[in-house]
Chains A and B, each alone.
Chain A
Amino acid sequence: MRNKEKNSETSDLMRKKKFNLKEGFFLSLIRTLGFTGAVILFIILFFVAYNGIHILSWEFITQPPVDAMTKGGIFPVIVGTILLTALCMIIVVPIGVITAIFLAEYSKPGVLLKTVMMSIYTLAGVPSVVFGLFGLAVFVVAFNFGMSLLAGSLTLAVMILPYIISTSEEAIKTVPYSFKEASFACGATKWQTIRKVVLPTAMPGILTGGILGTAKVSGETAPIMFTAAAFFTPGVPRSLFEPLMALPYHIYVLATSGTHIEETRPIQYGTALTLIVLVLGMNLLGIILRSRQRKKKAW
């Protein structure tokens, strides 16, 4: 009798993996959708690269534009973006890191901390064009900086501040408590511990956040439209208070306004490709650094 029972059970367990319609349908649906994202990125990348690659040359990135921007290179545009981004980071990283130190080390739970957290959270959701309006009202008009490198950098700094705070805070929070204990046990004060132990340990993480933030900032258009970027400037800005040309805005103006939209198409592709290489390159660098740090962490 037991043998009989066993046989029926055997067939039950050994049935050929029955094709489960629901299971198969949903899993392959999700698999397909999941790959769509990757495919889209490649299509766009390929298209821009295909059209932009033959205009990219040493001359293109080292010469200024000529003949009403229909010919020549984009040297001042590249420099403009680099200056804007660099100044923005110089302004925002210290503030972001100090805020992160406040959140991770000095804050006490309560209404005040909740207000700060909520502000950072809200700031992160504000549309970039609204930051542009803010920069216009405050830095350009109220502080009287005019459309300038400084006003644009400050606007971008305000925009990227929440991101820098959260990546720095994350980096600081991964520093193990035992490191701090060891420092306190040696008689160090809180600030000494932060400066000598916490910050150096968290520095790679903070820098990675900075690099990823730089990538985000350098691709932004809306915040600099009314605060820094000009349709055309004769060269690179010579002071903090001069307007400049920047890669994202350059693509926008060449593609939508002006009288030579079709003629400048190759330059548009070239500029777009330059911007993509810059942004994705920085991104890739940040991502690689981050995954290395995660693997390296022995504690």
Chain B
Amino acid sequence: MWKRFSSNRPALVGVVLLIAVIAVALLAPVLFPNGPWKMVQRPFLMPMAVDGLPLGTDTLGRDVAAQLAYGAQVSLLVGLVSTLVALLIGVPLGALAGFYGGYVDEGAMRFTEFFQTIPNFALAIVLVAIFEPTLASITLAIAIVSWPPVARLVRAEVMSVRRREFVDAARLAGLSKPRILLTQVLPNTVSPIIVMASLMVATAILLESSLSFLGLGDPNALSWGYMIGAARTVIRSAWWLSFFPGLAIIITVLALNLIGEGLNDALNPHLRQRGQKP
């Protein structure tokens, strides 16, 4: 599997980019010991205008490079944790629906459909606005709007796996139903879940940045979306304040998408044939 993944050049580019972003996030306190909020120079300095400030300063004279580095922490953290929470909601729900069928399935799917009908960005805005923007409420809101596709995927996978022969064998061996689900069925659905999760982290980062752009970011955590939102009104005079955070978001999201697609090709090799040859 690793061989297939590593022979996929775009996926490797994704890995390199992601490692770079993670390194910047982890090294932020070392590279910029003053933190992101401190005034270091005149406001509105162009990139490269002053030594030591490669990306210039913002409207309040704060170091844009330092803000980008600390912003990486927020993006990665929110993206990762919200995806984990979404998995915690979606996997059990989908597994129960797919495994037990009948009324359980009916009820779980109605519930999932309801959440899929609601425009998810609008719901995220409403949730964060009502519960006050904090890292916790933002993470939870993103998880709440992201779990339905997980539930549907896990349900479909469980439904196809539970009809396989080894599941019949486990039943004949006298294993209880919950035990069959946990030890026989679920482990065989892991690879599509991993692929979906890596793509979800990317979407979650985009969602978080969009919320902060609208002013719904945690006031104590500087994020990329907030930087762009704060610089929106001065776009005419200070384009770099919006440009670089956007670039950081694109690089991170792109890296995760490339990795997700690489994993998809590596874990589902039978799909790979498609599109390779005309």
A binds B: no
Chain B residues near A (Cβ < 8 Å): none
